[in-house]
Amino acid sequence: MNQYIAKICLLVGDYDEAIEFYTKKLGFTLLEDIEMGESKRWVVIAPKGQGGCSLLLAKASNERQVSQIGNQSGGRVFLFLYTDNLERDYGNLLKNAVKIIRQPRDEPYGKVLVFEDIYGNQWDMIEPTKA
């Protein structure tokens, strides 16, 4: 058996503002942007690098979904972005005025910082300790 998680759905308030944030401020790649009718789009983004899991940006379409934008994990860190150079990417976050929740620090598993995306989702950025 061969299984893997290919995409995670991320609720957003607006497709275009989300694409702008993730591609311009975080440097992600827009992989797909397909019109689906009735103001729906299939929008997939991913960090540059080796591939793996991507994010499906889903525009909230009802009050319940809108209430969960930025809080899909109940206020905990929601997504984990691995990097080969935390210092470089930290500088990019600062340059792009991305909100830093916890400054970079060393942990047994690597260097880590916490930042917030445009909607308030918290992300860990991790440069793993080299084996």
Q: SS3 breakdown of the chain: % helix, strand, coil, rounded to 5?
A: 20, 45, 35
Q: Structure pTM?
A: 0.92
User: Using 50, 70 and 90 to split pLDDT, how confident is the model at 81?
Assistant: very high
- Length of the chain counted residue by residue: 131
Is 26:98 a contact under the CB 8 Å cutoff? yes
- Give the CATH architecture of domain 7-128: Roll (3.10)
Closest CA to 55 of 91, 11, 2, 105: 11
User: Using 50, 70 and 90 to split pLDDT, how confident is the model at 32?
Assistant: very high
Is 125:83 a contact under the CB 8 Å cutoff? yes
User: Using 50, 70 and 90 to split pLDDT, how confident is the model at 118?
Assistant: very high
